[in-house]
Amino acid sequence: MPGANSFEYLPDGTTVHSSSAARLRLLYAPLCGVDGQGIKSAITPLLSGDIKIDKSRYLTKPASREDLRGPVRNFFLYTEKNGIKSAADAPDGEVVVELGQLWHKVTRLFPQQGLELSALTFVPVSGERMELTRFTVRNVSAVAVTYTPTAVVPIFARALANKHDHEHVTALLNRIEQADAGVVVEPTMLFNEEGHRPGRGVYYVFGAEGNGAAPVGTFPTVENFLGAGGDWSRPVAVLEDRKPTALVDAERNGSEAAGALRFATVTLGPGDSREYIVAVGMADSRESGLAEFSRFASAETLASALEENRRFWTAKTSTIEFSDGDKDFSAWMRWVTLQPILRRIFGCSFLPDHDYGKGGKGWRDIWQDLLSLILIEPEQVRDSLLNNFGGVRIDGSNATIIGQQPGEFVADRNAITRVWMDHGAWPFATTLLYINQTGDADLLFERTPYFVDPQMSRTMEKNSAWRPEYGNRLKDRRGNVYCGTVLEHILVQNLVQFFNVGEHNITRLESADWNDGLDMAFRRGESVAFMSFYAGNLLQIADLLERLAQARGLKDIVVAREVKALFDTLDQSVNYDDAAAKKRLLFEGYFKSVQPELSGETVGLDVGEVVRDLRRKGRWAAEKIRSQEMFFVEESGETFSLFNGYYDNDGRRVEGKCDGRMRMTLTGQVFPVMQGVASQDDIKKVVRTVNKYLRDRELGGFRLNTDFGVRHYLAMGRAFGFAFGTKENGAFFNHMSVMYAYALYKQNFAREGYEVLRSIYNLAVDGERAQIYPGIPEYFDSRGRGMYHFLTGSASWYILTLLTMAYGVRGELGDLVLAPRLVKEEFSSGLATVACQFAGRKITVQYVNPERLDFGQYRIQRVLLNGKA
């Protein structure tokens, strides 16, 4: 927010207080119910934003970033002597915003009117689909003040798509009623040309005074409220102080609904105040809506709902609490901890910045979010993990979108045939964390189906015989749904990618990798970055199996008979240097044997042999990358080493000097470091090169790539069409930056890791530039502006990195490990403390380092458990 230190945390350690926030029209905060079925809102200091449940149920008009400049929720104060003021008016006096978890309060002063107006908004945690605002009007003058209050929220009552498509005809479906408590809109149908359906439920705006009194009347339609000449900032009903009347059917039905409530004119003595409660919601019927509203329709019931709300969210975000003596950092981390929970509820959409607005969640994102949910909400995780593996196809690819219901998958939001080459890498990383944190290795041996649809052989083939009636579960040739173990799913995902290589014997880029913007190199593109990830996975799967063999006497694993072919060293070894031979094994052998159906027979494989096979592959891939892809460039007589991350659609190496300009990606460096492909010496060199080319001198952050200096790069992807310094083209893309930090810590480059994490924090709290509430946005642009705030996988990784790497509090097959990699700055008071969950218990780990020694200088001397050695 503008102005140095222009916001601060209140003593509760999370609530943000700002008197400058209202100057930023695009600053928004999220509000929501407890799960994905409930209300999801965005709210700005001037109460703009939107309120919805899902893509087909928008209570107010969908708001993208620039829409935040217009008013949505509002409260007008009409005074005879001193004109009209409202909550959404451009600030001309003091406006104070307080943002809590998860509530939003704005208080503004209208000196000329002698009134103060505050609006406190939240969504109850008791399950009702409504957003509540308590407006409080206080007389701050020395004389009595008379005013007439009107609350309004325009009710959209239809689907996201209708923001433009069929916008008018869908209004014709509205049946609008004037109830004593407010306005009710019942759309007769859900308009969808693929199949219209009857409406389901009502939308409403209800209101009451703090003493329970109902409004004196309503203006139920836009026309009735605004009049022919008014607009949302000066509605004629308020401007001319019109009295609400009962409209006839023809005036109400088929109209745009307004949800405007007129309350009684009142005279307040000096210091007196009045409360008004306004609910915007959705219910099965008008009656159930009224019944739900009645639970909050008085000052007392609303206050206790708010208290419950605070308790609920505070408990959630205090599951992990860091304290290194810097209170602001601890408070900021509480907001970061909230973010993965928000992603569980909102998905990736439904805030004003969104890559796509239709809801649901992408495959990659769900696995990122589970990382921190394993740490924050472990009880929710096991079933999700198991269910999600049901989205894997037998070719190692997967359904793209995970629906709201367990086991519900959708191939692609836009029905385009695509395959992201990185998708198979994430599930193992997440599962490994889960097993290490909980010790629950049994999960690996649970059985779950494979996903099936017409897409086969990683989009190279199509099963035109597939019909929806067949279902989305892979069957064997006898017609039974085939269920393989979770371990088998993981093996398929990682082994297929070992063989799925392009002309440089590097894993094919297919439709893109983590960087969704590298989407135009399907034919010849290759991703060294993610081949490193897969290589590390193969080695870590081997390690895990070996440990299970030692710890539990695991002797063999059972897989589908056909899957055995992927362990080629067990039978007839393939020459790994021969890219064509690898592809043959995959496309001619394995895919043909399992598609469209497999035999249903299984075989047992000796664990020792499996481990050897995986290690051979993992080591081969790592060595291939080190020897083939690491190179150096010269610059003013110095040499800088780096990994090439990609080949483009013309088969050209992407990184290195091109027309005198350095082309380099952070992604290309992160995974070889993270997965142990790079040696310690390599890492030193890579860090130096990253600092040279990707670290921004002014902002201190790390860019996703250098400026390639092109208008577009059609042989690589849409990303390079974005202006340099935005989004996937050279922004400070936090997800990749945090993964870079994680990788550095993992390889004991603690100071370097700390600097990366710190650079993100510094950018995020640079109020003048970032212009966001606390937390990590998806990226910072070249001006340091925080973009796509809240719903980003970077929050999950930040928590994971700080807890398991910097504080080094983590599990190994369920045993607690303490391996701090904190640097001296994190011991400002000589202590660094984290409270977190481990194996079902709340634990507090405190490192005592009175001399403030740096990483590398200190060693653990003594360990006390509850005060005893």
Q: Which residues of the shown chain bind ligand G1P in the complex (CB under 6 A)?
A: 348, 362, 364-365, 514-517, 728, 735, 778, 788, 792-794
365 contacts: CB under 8 Å, gap ≥ 6: 343, 348, 793
- Give me the least distance between CB of 458 and ligand G1P, in Å please: 19
**Quick one: 582 or 789, whose CB is closer to ligand G1P?**
789
Residue 45, CA atoms < 13 Å, CB-side half-sphere: 26
**Quick one: 436 or 794, whose CB is closer to ligand G1P?**
794
**Quick one: 129 or 364, whose CB is closer to ligand G1P?**
364
Tokens encoding 335: 């907001």
**Quick one: 26 or 239, whose CB is closer to ligand G1P?**
26
- Give me the least distance between CB of 349 and ligand G1P, in Å please: 10
Which of 634, 746, 614, 749 lies closest to 681 in space, CA to CA? 749
- Give me the least distance between CB of 433 and ligand G1P, in Å please: 17
- Give me the least distance between CB of 862 and ligand G1P, in Å please: 41
- Give me the least distance between CB of 50 and ligand G1P, in Å please: 19
Rounded to whole angstroms, the Cα distance separating 762 from 798 reads 14
- Give me the least distance between CB of 354 and ligand G1P, in Å please: 9
- Give me the least distance between CB of 37 and ligand G1P, in Å please: 22
- Give me the least distance between CB of 134 and ligand G1P, in Å please: 33
**Quick one: 364 or 703, whose CB is closer to ligand G1P?**
364
Cis preceding-peptide flag for 45 (omega within 30 of 0): no
- Give me the least distance between CB of 517 and ligand G1P, in Å please: 6
**Quick one: 79 or 792, whose CB is closer to ligand G1P?**
792
- Give me the least distance between CB of 793 and ligand G1P, in Å please: 3
Distances 167 to 71, 191, 225, 254, 328 between C-alpha atoms, Å:
19, 10, 20, 12, 46
**Quick one: 206 or 733, whose CB is closer to ligand G1P?**
733
CB-CB contact of 234 with 225 (8 Å): no
**Quick one: 362 or 378, whose CB is closer to ligand G1P?**
362
Alpha-carbon Rg for the chain in angstroms = 29
Please name the residue ranges forming H helices in 178-317. Answer: 222-226, 236-239, 249-252, 286-294, 299-317
**Quick one: 740 or 827, whose CB is closer to ligand G1P?**
740
- Decide: helix, strand or coil at residue 504: coil
**Quick one: 7 or 426, whose CB is closer to ligand G1P?**
426
Rounded to whole angstroms, the Cα distance separating 81 from 84 reads 9
Which residue do the tokens 């022919």 mark? 228
Which of 17, 237, 232, 123 lies closest to 774 in space, CA to CA? 17
Cis preceding-peptide flag for 864 (omega within 30 of 0): no
- Give me the least distance between CB of 511 and ligand G1P, in Å please: 12
Residue 760: which H helix or E strand, with range? helix 750-764
Q: How many residues does the chain have?
A: 869
- Give me the least distance between CB of 415 and ligand G1P, in Å please: 19
**Quick one: 361 or 393, whose CB is closer to ligand G1P?**
361
Please name the residue ranges forming H helices in 135-183. Answer: 167-171
Which of 508, 507, 500, 610 lies closest to 563 in space, CA to CA? 610
- Give me the least distance between CB of 7 and ligand G1P, in Å please: 24
**Quick one: 453 or 728, whose CB is closer to ligand G1P?**
728
- Give me the least distance between CB of 857 and ligand G1P, in Å please: 35
Q: H/E/C letters for each residue in 347-414?
A: CCCCCCCCCCCCCCEEHHHHHHHHHHHHHHCHHHHHHHHHHHHCCECCCCCECCEECCCCCCEECCCC
**Quick one: 38 or 362, whose CB is closer to ligand G1P?**
362
Helices (H) and strands (E) in the chain, counts: 21, 45
Strands (E), 80-193: 83-86, 95-100, 103-110, 115-122, 130-139, 145-152, 174-178, 182-187, 189-190
Using the 8-state DSSP alphabet, how is residue 801 labeled? I
277 contacts: CB under 8 Å, gap ≥ 6: 132, 133, 134, 135, 207, 208, 209, 210, 296, 297, 298, 299, 302
Rounded to whole angstroms, the Cα distance separating 816 from 343 reads 28
**Quick one: 364 or 617, whose CB is closer to ligand G1P?**
364
